[in-house]
Amino acid sequence: MTDTTEKPVLVETADGIRTVTLNHPRRKNAANAPVWDGLQAAFADAAKDPAVRVLVLTGAGGDFCAGADLSGDRAGVHPLSRMHRINDVAMALHDLPIPTIAKVSGVAVGAGWNLALGCDLVVAERDARFSQIFAKRGLSLDFGGSWLLPRIVGLQQAKRLALLAEIIGAEEAERLGLVTYVVEPGTIDAFVADLATTLAAGAPVALAQSKRMLNENADKTLREALESEARAQTINFAGTDAPAAYEAFLAKREPVFTGGWAAK
């Protein structure tokens, strides 16, 4: 694919699935300012579009993302302002109410790996490579890595990944819980399409609430988590999807979920 500077991020939507592609392949999709801005806009648009049920995040040209592009002109921009811009993208991804899938080929390093980890599910080709490269660049973790890694792999493994900045393969990443599925090269498009189609057919309100509770309740007490679950189920009972699922179960057919509101 040609590196199209006018379109640093490509966005396509079909059948409720929004595909967002980092389009900076000459630098392995390293994210510069236009890419960060494009991601921010893509996530914001997906969050407010009820027709979008799933977001797939990927990279052009055979790589996912080589991290932040440090080669651009940064004159006159305070480093804290640059980091706040990147942080806004991380929060926009985290706050998306729809399921998100990272489709990873090639490299996912530094902020690029944490961009993938910010998604709900990570699908990687078997020959993909990952690294928290920051230490080798004289930098510390960013794009949420200090929050994501210990929650996924535990503190000791998080320290290993952050302090040693090793390059690991997809199978090791899967063993650590950092990749959800490993697939053979050449099969990832079909696999992710099937996965996204399954998620897009799900009950959108129920899935959004489950996602939010899983993101938030790790830092809450059991009592607080149970209370948030009770609120979520109350909302589900007042919608159209739970009754539709029950009727489909009785009729021995697949339900059709719309995310509607049935309460009067």
Measure the CA–CA gap between 71 and 24, rounded to whole angstroms: 13
Q: Spell out the domain ranges in the chain.
A: 9-200, 204-251
User: Which tokens hold the place of 134?
Assistant: 């920051």
For the chain, 264 residues long, give each residue's pLDDT as a single digit of tens: 444 456 999 999 999 999 999 999 999 999 999 999 999 999 999 999 999 999 999 999 999 999 998 776 566 678 888 888 899 999 999 999 999 999 999 999 999 999 999 999 999 999 999 999 999 999 999 999 999 999 999 999 999 999 999 999 999 999 999 999 999 999 999 999 999 999 999 999 999 999 999 999 888 888 988 899 898 889 998 999 999 998 998 999 999 999 998 765
Length of the chain: 264
CB atoms within 10 A of CB 262: 12
Q: Which residues contact 160 (CB under 8 A, 6 or more apart)?
A: 166
Q: Are the beta carbons of 94 and 215 closer than 8 angstroms?
A: yes
The pLDDT assigned to 3 comes to 43
Distance from C-alpha of 212 to C-alpha of 12, rounded to nearest angstrom: 25
Report the largest interatomic distance among the alpha carbons of the chain, rounded to a whole angstrom. Answer: 65
Distance CA 197, CA 16 (A): 8
Name the nearest CA neighbour of 145 among 170, 169, 165, 121. Answer: 165
- Please state the pTM of the whole predicted model: 0.92
| Termini Cα distance of the chain | 52
CATH superfamily of 9-200: 2-enoyl-CoA Hydratase; Chain A, domain 1 (3.90.226.10)
**Tokens for 242?**
């739970």
Distance CA 1, CA 53 (A): 27
Dihedral, 184, 186, 187, 189 alpha carbons, nearest 10:
130
